[in-house]
Amino acid sequence: MTAFNHRFDTTTLREYDIRGIVGKTLHPADAFAIGRCFGSIVARGGGKTVAVGRDGRLSSPELEPALVAGLSACGLEVLRVGTGPTPMLYYATYALAADGGVMVTGSHNPPDYNGFKMMLGKKPFFGSQIQEIGRMAASGDVVAEAAGSDRHVDIAEDYLARMLRDYDGGERKLRVVWDPGNGSGAEIVKALAARLPGEHTVINGTIDGTFPAHHPDPTVAKNLEQIIAEVRARKADLGIAFDGDADRIGVVDDEGHILFGDQLLVVLARDVLKAKPGGIIIADVKASQVLFDEVAKAGGTPLMWKTGHSLIKAKMAETGSPLAGEMSGHIFFADKWYGFDDAPYSALRLLGIVARMTEKLSDVRRAMPQVINTPELRFDCAEDRKFQVVAEVKDRLSAEGAKVQDVDGVRVLTEDGWWLLRASNTQAVLVARCEATSEAGLDRLKASLVRQLTASGLAAPDFSGENAGH
């Protein structure tokens, strides 16, 4: 039996995944070690099979076999579903009744990054569990080496067919532009578009790990310029964009205006709540107050929760929520679906809603209460200081009698609107956001935020980015 121990670069073991720069902080040896440790956890729990997928990054064909070798060395059977979106791997874990799942993906990070997202059983694997992988590797705490096996399983057709079962837009022919951003969802998106009624245009539809057209992150407005131009040129009903592994969605209406994550969730929630009156709709703390108000108005129960796709999924399972979402474009359907973040599926559900509408998507967007907000502001703060700063701010606000929600950081409510300060779980940064009903109100909120940061010895964030009408 070969002795095993391994040390990861400390920057790679994140809150929600394992991620690093290939050739610098992440290597095939790390992939093998992840397989060996995660596989040991599965095996010790009585598990026998793990599904594995990979994205279209140039490094994924090298990392995936090393991961598979580590899992196999635990005596497991590895079900290799090949290149595709992260939600297809999640689906495979359910459909193949696997005991775990690992996706080799760098998500929306630059091309030289890669990483691993994991599921243990049907649940996300995150936080202290990821740190446990590091401890196990360093101490060699793994199951005895055993001969496992691996086989290729083509799940794509099954995944597509299962999604299409839930399309409820009838035969109305929408005109849709799709932009998978050369990410690993490209082939699935093309196949999905080809089977839906209407006129569909797919741009950047080849999987290419260099991302030649634009960075694959649909939450950044610059990355949507191409699809906006295409929607306007084709007079399309809407445009749908995806991140690098297609677990996050971006939407553009018929006028070429962006629907932000919380606005999209309003549209989806109104529809879900018709069948699930009183349903709990979860959104993260960065979402607009408009979302929570509109969910309540539609007969739902709004629930504000912590930012982070793994945290949201866990809260959904706990509360029986049929739908959740984040500002970052992670949308989670448990209504008819499995409760994981799946952008192609969310796109299909949105298209069904738009096809049944009598008005245009731009009319729906315009009819929502209009507020003014800053973009998400991220600014450096030392790892050992970021949570401390948030605690200091909370203590001062409490002493002042301010109205504070502390689900995740501090969200301060005033007559003008609200401002948020929270520590990132994945980086040495603080995240802030302000939202008001007027420009003057927004200025007052910004000033309040700056006062608190100054009191904790931090410089103000850069407010120079344009405020977004929302």
Distance CA 264, CA 356 (A): 16
Residue 198 has a pLDDT of 97
CA distance 210 to 143: 38
Q: Please check whether residues 149 and 204 belong to one and the same domain.
A: no
Asked if 54 contacts 63 with a C-beta cutoff of 8 angstroms, the reply is yes
Q: Who's near 215: CB < 8 A, 6+ residues apart?
A: 108, 110, 181, 223
Please tell me whether residues 450 and 349 are part of one structural domain.
no
Q: Residues near 311 by Cβ (< 8 Å), separated by ≥ 6? A: 126, 305
Q: Which helix (H) or strand (E) holds 352?
A: helix 343-356
Do 316 and 216 reside in the same domain of the chain? yes
Instruction: Tell me: do 120 and 215 sit in the same domain.
Output: no
- Has residue 302 been placed in a domain? yes
pLDDT digit string, tens, across residues 266-304: 999 999 999 999 999 999 999 999 999 999 999 999 999
Exposure string of 78-110, with b = 16+ CB inside 10 Å and e = fewer, is bbbbbbbbbbbbbbbbbbbebbbbbbbbbbbbe
442 inside domain: yes
Give the pLDDT score at 297: 98
Is 90 exceeded by the pLDDT of residue 461? no
Same domain, 288 and 184: yes
- Reference 242, options 371, 379, 120, 88; nearest CA is 88
Same domain for 173 and 74: no
Domain CATH code at residue 215: 3.40.120.10
Tokens matching residue 267: 């549209």
> How many Cα atoms sit within 13 Å of 289 on the Cβ side?
21
d(CA 346, CA 287): 18
**What is the CATH classification number for the domain harbouring 377?**
3.30.310.50
Q: By the 8 A CB rule, do 351 and 343 touch?
A: no
Q: CB–CB of 405/363 below 8 Å?
A: no
Integer angstrom CA distances of residue 277 from 178, 269, 351, 454: 32, 10, 22, 45
Residue 57 in any domain: the answer is yes
Domain count, the chain: 3
Number of Cβ within 10 Å of residue 453's Cβ equals 21
Pairing between β-strand 403-405 and β-strand 410-413 as defined by DSSP bridges: antiparallel
**CA pair distance 150, 173, nearest whole angstrom:** 43
320 CB-contact burial (10 Å; exposed 0-12 / middle 13-18 / buried 19+): exposed
pLDDT at 81: 98
Q: Could you tell me the pTM of the whole model? A: 0.95
Same domain flag for 111 and 136 = yes
Question: What is the C-alpha separation between 52 and 95, in angstroms, rounded?
Answer: 13
Query: Does residue 219 have a pLDDT over 60?
Result: yes
Contact in structure between 78 and 50 (CB atoms under 8 Å)? yes
pLDDT of residue 375: 85
* pLDDT band for position 68 (cuts 50, 70, 90): very high
- What digits encode the pLDDT tens for the residues 196-217? 999 999 999 999 999 999 999 9
Rounded Cα–Cα distance for residues 13 and 33 (Å): 13
Question: What region, left, alpha or beta, does residue 119 occupy, with left being phi > 0 and alpha being psi -120 to 50 degrees?
Answer: beta
Rounded (10°) angle between helices 289-297 and 261-275:
10
Name the residue among 374, 373, 383 with its Cα closest to residue 430: 383
| Cα 231 from Cα 98, distance rounded (Å) | 40
| In a shared domain, residues 198 and 274 | yes
The pLDDT of residue 255 = 98
Expressed as residue numbers, the domain containing 333 is 159-367
- Tokens 């951003």, residue located: 181
Same-domain check for residues 401 and 266: no
Domain contains 50: yes
Is residue 204 domain-shared with residue 114, that is, in the same domain? no
Where a domain ends, among 319, 337, 367? 367
| Domain annotation covers residue 8 | no
Q: Is residue 425 part of a domain?
A: yes
pLDDT in tens, 364-389: 999 999 999 998 888 899 988 999 99
- Flag whether 4 is in a domain: no
Task: Answer with the one of 121, 154, 187 that is the final residue of a domain.
Answer: 154
- Is the same domain home to 229 and 263? yes
The residue behind tokens 């309003």 is 266
* In-domain check, residue 5: no
| Largest Cα span, the chain | 70
Using only C-alpha atoms, the chain has a radius of gyration, in whole angstroms, of 22
Place of tokens 């931090």: 458
Check whether 124 has a pLDDT greater than 60: yes
Transcribe 197-253 into DSSP letters: SSEEEESS-S--TT-SSS-S-TTSGGGGHHHHHHHHHHT-SEEEEE-TTSSSEEEEE
Domain identity same for 145 and 177: no
Phi-psi region of 261 (alpha: psi -120 to 50; beta: other; left: phi over 0): alpha
What's the confidence (pLDDT) of residue 428?
87
What would the mean pLDDT of 108-133 be, rounded to a whole number? 96
- Give catalytic residues, as residue numbers: 107
Per-residue pLDDT, 469: 53
Q: Which of 342, 367, 392 is the last residue of a domain?
A: 367
Looking at residues 159-172, what average pLDDT do you find? 97
Q: Which of 263, 452, 459 is nearest to 373 (CA)?
A: 263
